[in-house]
Amino acid sequence: MEYILYCLLAYLLGSIPSGLIVGKMGYGVDIREHGSGNLGGTNTFRVLGIKAGLIVTTADILKGTVAAALPFFLGADVITLVVGIFAVIGHMYPVFAGFKGGKAVATSGGVVLGVNPIIFLILLLSFFILLYLTKYVSLSSMISGIVGVIATLIVKDYGLTLVISVFTIFVIYRHRANIKRIMNKTEPKITWM
């Protein structure tokens, strides 16, 4: 019962629609009606600019980190990584935003940050290197997940390997349309790097 309760709390935490809140409260804009229609940080950057994008991305990362830390904060004897997965599911399918959320990148990273900050830094570094080389946020996100899987295999943290593998599958699945656009050379590239 305790296990179910913490997974539910993590899902609800992940369901907080940061992009929707920042867009409506700070700018009077529903970002679901603009750009890609996605509630995540990338669409927020495109629609509302750098400041809003940074706020939403940070908030989405922290959702995963806090969810992963729930068992520690509340003294629960549950598997931290599994609780974190429910925060990611909440971010992708938020109950507070009609089950249409983000693509799981930032919140997945937040869970990793809560469990293993070194692996999180590897993910972050690989993301920005790939972003510099490709100019595609979506492609950088997907490949960074694969880098994370390899990194956890090297350090023999197999539980984290499994969870990052799940997160990477989530991320790739949520980027299906982006993959098609990359193949058709119609995916937008960033211009600020």
* pLDDT score at 191: 86
pTM over 0.85: yes
**Is residue 85 pLDDT above 90, yes or no?**
yes
**Is residue 77 pLDDT above 90, yes or no?**
no
**Is residue 192 pLDDT above 90, yes or no?**
no
**Measuring CA to CA, how many Å separate 185 from each of 5, 43, 105?**
45, 19, 22
The token pair that represents 74 in the structure block: 């509340």
What confidence tens digit (pLDDT) does each residue in 128-147 have? 999 999 999 999 999 999 99
| Residue range 33-39: mean pLDDT, rounded | 92
* pLDDT score at 121: 98
What confidence tens digit (pLDDT) does each residue in 154-176 have? 999 999 999 999 999 999 999 99
SS (H, E, C) 54-77: HHHHHHHHHHHHHHHHHHHHCCCC
